[in-house]
Amino acid sequence: MLKDTLIALLIGFFVTTVVCPFFIPILHRFKFGQMVRDDGPKDHLKKTGTPTMGGITFIIGILAGSAFLISRYRDVVVVFLFTVSYGIIGLLDDMLKIKKKQSEGLKSSQKFILQLVVSVIFIIYLYKIYGFDYGILIPFTGSFDSGIILKLGIIWIPFALFVILGTDNGVNFTDGLDGLCSSVTIIVAIFFMLIGLKGGFSVTPITGAVIGSLMGFLIFNAYPAKVFMGDTGSLALGGFVASYALMCQIPVFIAIVGFIYMIEVISVIIQVGYFKATKGKRFFKMAPIHHHFELCGWSETKTVTVFSIITVILGILVYLFM
């Protein structure tokens, strides 16, 4: 399985690295540029017009890396289709942003309904596999053969929905700095790969395709970014992280390895709640929290580096003390 995973990684990297130089000029030609918020850091205004929807490139890479796995690893197909489905929702959002020439695309209600439909279909699939016998591995209690597996019964249905929607929004909020979401998700995927290999899950090889594709994309997405992944990419990655974790029965691990995703969401919730409660005051200088650090004087590269290091440390802790 490790060999197949590494082959998928190399294919994903090669394909994405080749596709990006051809695809980015096409985005320029059709003027598919990013619309930047007026109330954001002033340094970000220069990013206006940078091509977005670059997530299409690494989705192609993931497809290429996963293609040779499909015949032997059925679960890879399930996670890939879920990832692409969320990517399509993001694509619709990006297209509307470009058409409207503003930073808001789909209405929140529209996006939620689409996410809900796709998520319910995936949960129905999980139900067919596990029924109400779905269990989750509790972190820091041991590996799959010795750790505590908590059976949720019927509660796992709303729990799975919460995991999917929460994770996807977290990954989406993390996509705000050059290379941030790509870097953090590469690290998360690496540790998910190691955990999946330890547990012997047949879905594990898709992590290789994701890691390799994001590495190829990061060449063009690192500061200063030549292309952004857009909601096309961030929603797709959120779909991957959530679906993979659920398939491997490690959704609780997202809160640790994907701590950055979680803190990004929490910062937005705190900001909005505090703003409403105090009638206009802000808890952070700006949310999501990566913008707060920017306005405190951190550079984009420093923020991305620190957030990535935090993810590495937490991933190591999880892997060593499962």
DSSP string, 193-209: HHHHHHHT-TTTHHHHH
164 by Cβ neighbours in 10 Å (0-12 / 13-18 / 19+) ranks as buried
Tell me the pTM.
0.93
What is the rounded average pLDDT for all residues in the chain?
90
pLDDT at 102: 65
* 3 state DSSP class of 224: coil
Alpha-carbon distance of 288 to 292, in angstroms, equals 7
CA distance 166 to 217: 25
- Let me know: does 318 contact 257? Beta carbons within 8 Å: yes
231 is in an annotated binding site: yes
Q: Of 70-79, 166-175, 260-269, give the lowest mean pLDDT range.
A: 70-79
- Residue 44: pLDDT above 70? no
Preceding omega of 51 cis (within 30 degrees of 0): no
Contacts of 121 by beta carbon, 8 Å cutoff, 6+ apart: none
Provide the pLDDT for residue 131. Answer: 83
Amino acid at position 155, single letter: I
Q: Residue 73 is encoded by which pair of tokens?
A: 């690893």
Q: What is the DSSP letter of 154?
A: G
With CA atoms as reference, report the closest residue to 263 among 229, 290, 239. 290
| pLDDT tens-place string over residues 185-235 | 999 999 999 999 988 899 999 999 999 999 999 999 999 999 999 999 999
pLDDT single digits (tens) 236-287: 999 999 999 999 999 999 999 999 999 999 999 999 998 888 888 898 889 8
Q: Provide the pairing of β-strand 135-137 with 149-151.
A: antiparallel
Give the angle subtended at the CA of 206 by the CAs of 81 and 241, to the nearest 5°.
70
Residue 43: per-residue pLDDT: 59
Dist CA 54 CA 59 (whole Å):
9
What is the C-alpha to C-alpha distance for residues 225 and 50, in angstroms, rounded to an integer? 8
Task: Give CA–CA dist 172/237, Å, rounded.
Answer: 8
Query: Alpha carbon 4 to chain centroid distance?
Result: 23
In tens, the pLDDT along 110-157 reads 899 999 999 999 999 998 888 888 889 999 998 888 889 999 889 999
Query: CB atoms < 10 A from the CB of 249, how many?
Result: 19
CA 278 to chain centre: 32
186, 209 in Cβ contact below 8 A? Answer: no
CA distance 148 to 156: 16
The two structure tokens encoding residue 70: 């499909």
Annotation-wise, does 172 bind a ligand? Answer: yes
CA 254 vs CA 64, 170, 213, 271: distances in Å: 26, 10, 21, 22
Per-residue pLDDT, 48: 64
